Amino acid sequence: MSLILPVACGTTRQHRLYNATPQASGFHPKPILRQAKFLSSSGFPLSPYERSDRFLTVARFGSNEPLPAKFSPAKLAPLEIVGGNAAGAASIKIPLPAPVTEDMDVEEHHANKSGFLSEAGPRPIDKYMHLRDLREHDTTKYYQLMLKNAQQVLPFIYTPTVGQACQEYHSLGIKTRGLYLSLNDRGSILSKLRAWPQQDIQVIVVTDGERILGLGDLGANGMGISEGKIELYTAAAGVDPSKCLPIALDVGTNNAKLRESPEYKGLRSARPSDEEYDAFVDEFMQALKIWRPHVLLQYEDFGNHNAFRVLEKYQSGFCCFNDDIQGTAGITLAALLGALRIRGGRLSEQRILFLGAGEAACGIATLISYCMHRREGLSEESSRQRCYLMDSKGLVVSSRTDLQHHKKPFAHDAPFVHTLIEAVRMLKPTAIIGVSAVPNTFDEEVIKTMAELNERPIIFPLSNPTSLSECTFEQAVKWTDGRVIFASGSPFDPIEYNGELHNAPQANNAYIFPAVGHAAVLTKAKTIPQAVFLVAAEQLAAMATIKELQTGSVFPQFSNIRLISAAIMAAVVRYLVNSGLGTVPAGWEGHDTGEGLDWRHMASAAMWSPSSTSRL
């Protein structure tokens, strides 16, 4: 199934956006069109492979051109997701990733009728259990329902409901779908993997349960996170669910209450020493390499004293990434690039202050400075100096002697200050990013000061869940008099302020990690370097439409996630193949993968949908 979209020589304004000579039409949408085809969203010239394929890409801004505060709708037709390439072909076929079948409508009808999809339906945890049940007994229907209604159904499969599910996992009578590997399996991890009923595994999400969402150490109950997160690979990026494996490493728990619970199924011991832990993780990693050498491994919700060490140790020899560090970085960089499409300016001109200096903050700051360095030519040192972090003790500066390893690259020569407001006044940031899990820390004084310092302050309270958010959307809009450019970790409803609609985009990692992971699987990637998350973030940032940007949405609508993922997959596959880290996906070896359009066709064609298999 494909959607044919005319580009380049069409007659509407939307089509003219891709015309090689737009001025000829007498229509001059300057802010979006000038050099649109040759600049990345951060304003840096695109590389040849980026220029060659503008799949699902909307027009981009020149480097210093802000989106005018007000667009006349008559002048700028909404730019929807359109196909187009730099050469300006007359039409492009974009295969739709997931065929929508009549079966799906039937299931959706039942779901609606039972009130399942409505807010007034059963309690979220009951919906979670119902969906697990449906998955077990009618897997095809489950995926049909999920794919057709991803936006409504995912909150009951993953966050926020999965948090409660993990807390109660041991007492809910859940039949686990994933594989537990416990310290008692030492010496026989490979044979346990080989005994798993499904051997053709392509994607694994693994947790050790130590830092589940913001809920702390949930030990073996963390399995719920691996199970929930892996579903997003299918929902968002079309990975065949029979090739996905959730794993929980059961290394005990320091959660005494859980250990004492008679229903708890995990090891009833405290977490092991670093040496014991490292040896166990290493046996797991080496066993994986023998069992499934090309498997994509996602680390999820490891405590931060292990997360950085484990990632550093294995990222150059395995096809793996940590979503809390790198996926978060990808989505936040995309939000920032989207914000600059609204506000104008280059990334390397920004001063970014983070409240928090853990996995999320360090991951985001590392990717932002990498982008400034690679795309905008700033030195590595100067790029890092555009990012300042604050932890629970205060500003991370070079004079401090108590800093953990992962904070040190961002410890700059600056006076130490204790509080956020002092840091804001001293550093005059253009953006503040909250990843501290401490609510209400972006208070009125902080936000009003940001609004005094910046015409369009960028304020991203990313901490989850909503109760931990550094500020609410309403506060950010009110205290900046509607000038804020906002993104949050948890969802907030849109609001009207001074007669204008303001949307609160949610920085959902699911925009990034499933597409990155699926691209790595398709190319049998050896490793997943930092650049992959940069490519993914740029692709995502380019896809918000003008209409979305006008209402503050720095991301394209999540309801288009399969199309969005296909575009990101295409960009990442192309990067991995061109950089020699991956191979051309199976079945596409003979195709023109240079300047042609095969990448996007390949990405869409590779996406699984429930009607395309009978193995379920």
C-alpha distance from residue 270 to each of 168, 201, 266, 282 (Å): 20, 31, 11, 20
Sorted by sequence, the CB contacts under 8 Å of residue 325 that are 6+ apart come out as 307, 308, 311, 359, 360, 362, 363
Q: Which of 299, 339, 123, 102 is nearest to 211 (CA)?
A: 299
Q: What angle do CA 400, 405, 411 make, to 5 degrees?
A: 40
How many other β-carbons are positioned within 10 Å of the β-carbon of residue 529?
Answer: 18
- Closest CB 358 distance from ligand NAI, rounded Å: 2
| 259, 220 Cβ separation under 8 angstroms | no
278 is in an annotated binding site: no
| 332, 364 Cβ separation under 8 angstroms | yes
Place of tokens 């940590």: 322
Decide if 408 is catalytic: no
Closer residue to ligand NAI, CB minimum distance, 6 or 356: 356
- Closest CB 321 distance from ligand NAI, rounded Å: 13
Side chain identity at residue 302, one-letter code? F
Helices and strands: H and E segment counts in the chain: 24, 15
271 is in an annotated binding site: no
Distance, in Å, from the CA atom of 417 to the CA atom of 423, rounded to the nearest integer, reads 6
DSSP single-letter state for residue 323: I
C-alpha distance from residue 518 to each of 95, 188, 294, 297 (Å): 17, 29, 12, 11
- The count of residues in the chain is 616
Task: Please tell me which residue in 127, 141, 229, 524 is annotated as part of the active site.
Answer: 229
Instruction: State both tokens at 229.
Output: 């997160």
DSSP single-letter state for residue 181: E
Closer residue to ligand NAI, CB minimum distance, 91 or 440: 440
| 82, 5 Cβ separation under 8 angstroms | yes
Closer residue to ligand NAI, CB minimum distance, 7 or 435: 435
Task: Please tell me which residue in 18, 49, 142, 158 is annotated as part of the active site.
Answer: 158
C-alpha distance from residue 53 to each of 91, 159, 227, 511 (Å): 14, 34, 35, 20
324 is in an annotated binding site: yes
Closer residue to ligand NAI, CB minimum distance, 528 or 597: 528
- Closest CB 92 distance from ligand NAI, rounded Å: 32
Closer residue to ligand NAI, CB minimum distance, 366 or 593: 366
- Start-end of H helices in 171-222: 189-194
Closer residue to ligand NAI, CB minimum distance, 357 or 603: 357
Distance, in Å, from the CA atom of 575 to the CA atom of 563, rounded to the nearest integer, reads 19
Residue nearest ligand NAI, Cβ-based: 358
Sorted by sequence, the CB contacts under 8 Å of residue 515 that are 6+ apart come out as 236, 237, 536, 564, 565, 566, 568, 569, 572
| 266, 208 Cβ separation under 8 angstroms | no
Instruction: State both tokens at 391.
Output: 């932890």
454 is in an annotated binding site: no
136 is in an annotated binding site: no
- Closest CB 525 distance from ligand NAI, rounded Å: 23
- Closest CB 354 distance from ligand NAI, rounded Å: 9
Closer residue to ligand NAI, CB minimum distance, 36 or 435: 435
- Closest CB 213 distance from ligand NAI, rounded Å: 6
508 is in an annotated binding site: yes
Closer residue to ligand NAI, CB minimum distance, 180 or 442: 442
Residue 39 has phi, psi (to 5 degrees) of -115, 140
How many other β-carbons are positioned within 10 Å of the β-carbon of residue 53?
Answer: 23
Whether residue 66 has a cis bond before it, omega within 30° of 0 = no
- Closest CB 164 distance from ligand NAI, rounded Å: 15
- Contacts with ligand NAI by CB under 6 A lie at 214, 304, 324, 328, 331, 355-361, 390-392, 435-438, 462-464, 468, 489, 507, 509
- Closest CB 464 distance from ligand NAI, rounded Å: 3
Decide if 575 is catalytic: no
Give me the active site residues, please.
158, 229
Q: Which residues are annotated as a binding site for (S)-malate?
A: 211, 464, 508
Q: Which residues are annotated as a binding site?
A: 211, 300-301, 324, 464, 508
